[in-house]
Structure 1
Amino acid sequence: MGGAGGGGGGAMRLSPCQAVLALAIALNLLVLYYVSRLQRRAARRPRERGPASAAPRPGLTVLLREFEDFENYVPEVARAFLRQRPAPPVLVVADAPPYPPLRLPPGPGPGARLLVLRPAADQPAAARRPEAHVSTEFVALVPDGARADGAGQLERMQEALRAERGSVRMVAAPVRALRPLQCLDLRVSLRRWAAEYRAAAAPGLCGALRGDAVVLLRARDLFNLSTPLARPLLTSLFVQTALRGWAVRVLDVSFPSLHQPLLTSSHNQWKADRRAQASRRRLFQDFGIKRVVLEDGREQWYGCSKETPRCFGTVHDDTPEYLYQDRWTPPCCLRALRETARYVVGVLEASGVRYWLEGGTLLGAARHGDIIPWDYDVDLGIYLEDVPNCELLRSAEAGSVVDEKGFVWEKAIEGDFYRVQYSEHNHLHVDLWPFYPKNGVMTKDTWMDHRQDVEFPEHFLKPLVPLPFAGFTAMAPNNHRGFLELKFGAGVIENPEYPNPARKRLDKGAL
């Protein structure tokens, strides 16, 4: 006990200096602890680059994207905008280094810079990302040949856009003396691979523009698009914004032009037109748009033809690839199937071959008067005994036959039936299934593992009756509802479903 008492009496006392030193050490350790925690938290967060990582600074960046290497006014356009006060940064964007090289003015402030989108092995990823080069709130998309004249157009456009609410996410000002500006509505359906332009319902409030204009939008909106600077720039921009429900308002503001016409020779104009057509074709192919309806009703097609392969590959489990992408049959494929079906029906009728709409093709005729929007071939039943009446079917027994219209007639390798392909390159097709009566029941020699591939009483074919289908009249069983419900089940006409619901089910809200 005495030892214990003696130990307590010898406790060390801290001097005031020692106490201050101990407190300082403790505070330093505490600071180090919290700094370490903050660093660990920051390391766990995804790193952000570009304007999204910091609040954008006021003002705008002038961005020039649409110009031709071989003849342009890009340096003059940049110089004109750099004369504004305050001078906006000017960013010139090209797919590859322009040739001949552009002589961009340095200008006050950041001046004009060139951004090349093509990857370069010696450059970091951010070097070719336009969002990493724009730190302003707004971006003005300026076409080649536009000129700023000091009338305050850019400031008025910024004020107008800040005042907008709702769906208006862009404002535009036409460029005088270039192509007249058209205000259009634009409807895009990725499910149907289609875009349709119409005259705008409300003057000055547009879904798309055709012509030359300066378009102003927020940088965050532009760079949140999937492909913000694809060419043709305005076509690409408005397809993407139409899918988001955005609108553009045309203001009572305009910009003068530097030169009219923009291209000074017919040869250069021809080169520019060809490049524009190629860019437009590539853009719609990249976006998966096969059919474009212009405001005057004309159609443009960007899908399969007789000279190109069909738009989708081999079908597995009765479910084509496009259904997994929540799309239906490309319209160019439906058009080719309609053309092939009409042609085959004409040949069969002229040859005295009895035929009828079969399976899903008959279902499409009963439900839509057309091919089912997600179907990928056409099926016809024929009487086996009538095959010798058709020279093309007889010839197909010995091998493929390309007829005078470019359609390919052949015996299918999968079994005892015939196939007519759209062309040698494009294998969209009509299948012809030879049936024969046996004790009053129609049967055949090749059966596929399809729900609808079953025998049926011959009385459905006596007589055959006309039925509208795909823009013409074809022959069909006399009681098509009874025929279809025998093959598919009750209520099949009123209750659409994809061919293999176990793989992919139809969203009924999409109809």
Structure 2
Amino acid sequence: MRLSRCQCILIVAVLFNAFILCCLVVLQLRLENVNQEDAIVDVKSRKQGPVKVMERAMSSSISERVTVVIREFEDFENQVAETVKSILHLDEYIRIVIAVDKAPYPPLTLPEDGDVKVVSMKTSLDRHPNVSCPERFVDTEFVLLVPDGTIITSPKQVEKVLSAFHSRRGDVRMVAAKVGGEMTSQCFDMDVNLKQWTLTYMQGGAAQDTCNGLDGSHIILMRTADFHSLSRPYHRPFPQSLFIQTALRGWKLVQVPASTIPAKKLFTDPHNQWKHQTRHDSRLKAMYEEFGIKKVSWSNGNVEWYGCRKETARCFGTVVDDMPEYLYENRWTPPCCLRALRETARHVFRVLQKCGARYWLEGGSLLGAARHNDIIPWDYDIDLGIYRDDIDKCLPSDMLHQGSYTDSEGFVWERATEGEFYRIQYSAQNHLHVDIWPFHPQNGVMTRGLWTQSHRQDIDFPEHFLVPLKTVKFLEMQVSAPNDVKGFLELKFGKGVIENPQYPQPNKVQM
């Protein structure tokens, strides 16, 4: 049967009205469900009271402003899962980034709900390098650096830190709150001197004062932009590496007063405690090496050395054009090398003085004595002159006949291979050294006869500078020197050399 045009229009109209009716029914059902959910929430809110309602509102504010970062923990024993649960309990929307060197083993057992990212910073050939960058997952204004075992029980604990941050003054860039109540926090300041390869800890004030760091366990709040502007923001051990980098920039930290956040205990087993301490010490040594810190001085007077030793090679390689490689990096001689030079020089001075040799400070060593009674901070060896006639009675006979001799204290005496002079090395492994240059008088002039011409000061000079010799203070000893130090140095280096320090090749690198 063929339908007329009017019948077709009528059928379409009926179907359209039926569709509209169905949509209205579905919409009504959804509205009823929403109202029921709101009623349930309202009942819960009344049961929880106004405090809980406020905390929920505060937690929502936190998730929009803060990303939690967990960095320092051990894979063999940790409470990361409990820490994550406590944070998600406050706000399921807050992002948590767990930065790891490599995928933990055994794997972390984390809550399945919540925005939790475990980011391995170990690069892999089959992954894009961005996957190994924790900063890609932090897009909030602040980062909250949370130690392993922290149990945050209320949004107020975080809000208090946020409030303290906004009321900070001056160069304060970090706010901290104590985690765990077993020990009080000690505030300390730090002097990070990269040019001299040193780190010095100084006693700070009370924990509420501004300082460069705090010992113990703390949550630390700072702006994300500040955190990611650091050269190694995620470097371990943490937060020691953080405090070194922020102190270098002059940033300060303050602790929220009378605020302690509970924490789970860790490493109660003696073996795990030893294992943790061993790994921490290993990371600390690796951090100092990467940061270029070779001497750590503590406020109690203790000193730790992380550079070269008598049984290791020195910290730098072959010197070209009298310019050690560290000068091109805007650094001076590492303190461990200066210590080795001082020990070697004092040993040589005692030997030469005992045998009555006519020796004197030469070149840059005499220049250092004239300026500050010590080695020039960027020098890499010590130079002495000696009357050639005194060599046989002072230098070891084994060296003179065989070319090399190691004495009872491990110093190596040898005839230099690159010229007519003698060298005393710190050890067979560590070649920091004292060079002894033999001179002889000829018609009132001290000469070496054949110059290698490797230093600008390698020139003949009148013998009257040595007749008589005098003594100067050098390395906390009285050592022999020319009788007119200023005149001697200006003859060799030029006018004003004492008053105007410069590097050996100022045209290449300036101070």
TM-score by length of 1: 0.84
- Residues 267/179 of structure 1: CA separation in 2 closer, same or farther (3 Å cut): farther
Q: How does 1:242-253 map to 2 (within 5 A)?
A: 242-253=247-258
Shift of 1:391: 4.8
2: CA distance, partners of 1:361 / 1:455? 17
Q: How does 1:193-232 map to 2 (within 5 A)?
A: 193-201=197-205, 203-232=208-237
More moved, 203-212 vs 478-487: 203-212
Q: Tell me which residue corresponds to 1:18.
A: none
2: CA distance, partners of 1:113 / 1:137? 18
Q: Tell me which residue corresponds to 1:88.
A: 94
Aligned residue type for 1:299: V
1: CA distance, partners of 2:182 / 2:123? 33
Alignment pair present for 1:366 and 2:370 = yes
Shift of 1:446: 3.9
Secondary structure of 1:278's aligned partner: helix
Q: Tell me which residue corresponds to 2:14.
A: none
Decide which of 371, 387, 391 is 1:387's aligned counterpart: 391
1: CA distance, partners of 2:226 / 2:395? 62
For residues 413-455 of structure 1, the C-alpha deviation after alignment (integer angstroms, 9 at most, x for no partner) is 1101001111111111110101111122111144232221111
Asked if the contact 1:402–1:409 (Cα under 8 Å) also holds between the matched residues in 2, the reply is yes
For residues 266-294 of structure 1, the C-alpha deviation after alignment (integer angstroms, 9 at most, x for no partner) is 22111111111111111111111111111
Shift of 1:397: 4.3
Decide which of 293, 296, 299 is 1:289's aligned counterpart: 293
How many aligned positions are there? 448
For residues 64-88 of structure 1, the C-alpha deviation after alignment (integer angstroms, 9 at most, x for no partner) is 1111111111111111121113652
Q: Tell me which residue corresponds to 1:279.
A: 283
Decide which of 141, 150, 155 is 2:154's aligned counterpart: 150
Secondary structure of 1:97's aligned partner: coil
More moved, 453-462 vs 222-231: 453-462
Alignment pair present for 1:64 and 2:79 = no
Shift of 1:467: 1.0
Q: Tell me which residue corresponds to 1:78.
A: 84
2: CA distance, partners of 1:393 / 1:377? 24
Across the aligned residues of Structure 1 and Structure 2, the Cα RMSD in angstroms comes to: 1.8
Q: Tell me which residue corresponds to 1:486.
A: 491
1: CA distance, partners of 2:80 / 2:437? 63
Secondary structure of 2:239's aligned partner: helix
Q: How does 1:393-432 map to 2 (within 5 A)?
A: 394-432=398-436
Asked if the contact 1:322–1:328 (Cα under 8 Å) also holds between the matched residues in 2, the reply is yes
Asked if the contact 2:64–2:94 (Cα under 8 Å) also holds between the matched residues in 1, the reply is no
Secondary structure of 1:91's aligned partner: strand
1: CA distance, partners of 2:450 / 2:127? 61
Asked if the contact 1:310–1:428 (Cα under 8 Å) also holds between the matched residues in 2, the reply is yes
2: CA distance, partners of 1:180 / 1:204? 14
For residues 14-65 of structure 1, the C-alpha deviation after alignment (integer angstroms, 9 at most, x for no partner) is xxxxxxxxxxxxxxxxxxxxxxxxxxxxxxxxxxxxxxxxxx9832122111
1: CA distance, partners of 2:117 / 2:381? 53
For residues 77-113 of structure 1, the C-alpha deviation after alignment (integer angstroms, 9 at most, x for no partner) is 1111211136522221111111111111224x31x33
1: CA distance, partners of 2:397 / 2:95? 70
Aligned residue type for 1:68: E
1: CA distance, partners of 2:270 / 2:440? 65
Asked if the contact 1:393–1:418 (Cα under 8 Å) also holds between the matched residues in 2, the reply is no
2: CA distance, partners of 1:255 / 1:445? 76
1: CA distance, partners of 2:111 / 2:483? 78
Asked if the contact 2:179–2:263 (Cα under 8 Å) also holds between the matched residues in 1, the reply is no
Shift of 1:363: 0.5
Q: Tell me which residue corresponds to 2:452.
A: 448
Secondary structure of 1:166's aligned partner: coil
Asked if the contact 2:181–2:260 (Cα under 8 Å) also holds between the matched residues in 1, the reply is no
Shift of 1:247: 0.8
Decide which of 96, 106, 112 is 1:100's aligned counterpart: 106
For residues 456-481 of structure 1, the C-alpha deviation after alignment (integer angstroms, 9 at most, x for no partner) is 12222222222111222211111111
Alignment pair present for 1:240 and 2:242 = no
Asked if the contact 2:175–2:254 (Cα under 8 Å) also holds between the matched residues in 1, the reply is yes
TM-score by length of 2: 0.84
Unpaired segments ≥5 residues, structure 2: 1-61
2: CA distance, partners of 1:234 / 1:124? 28
Secondary structure of 1:83's aligned partner: helix
Decide which of 258, 263, 279 is 1:258's aligned counterpart: 263
Secondary structure of 1:327's aligned partner: coil
Asked if the contact 1:179–1:212 (Cα under 8 Å) also holds between the matched residues in 2, the reply is no
Aligned residue type for 1:81: I
2: CA distance, partners of 1:297 / 1:154? 37
Asked if the contact 1:153–1:253 (Cα under 8 Å) also holds between the matched residues in 2, the reply is no
Decide which of 444, 464, 473 is 2:469's aligned counterpart: 464
1: CA distance, partners of 2:173 / 2:196? 26
Asked if the contact 1:309–1:426 (Cα under 8 Å) also holds between the matched residues in 2, the reply is yes
Shift of 1:358: 0.5
Shift of 1:334: 0.9
Asked if the contact 1:442–1:456 (Cα under 8 Å) also holds between the matched residues in 2, the reply is yes
Shift of 1:201: 4.9
2: CA distance, partners of 1:401 / 1:324? 35
Q: Tell me which residue corresponds to 1:31.
A: none
Aligned residue type for 2:82: E
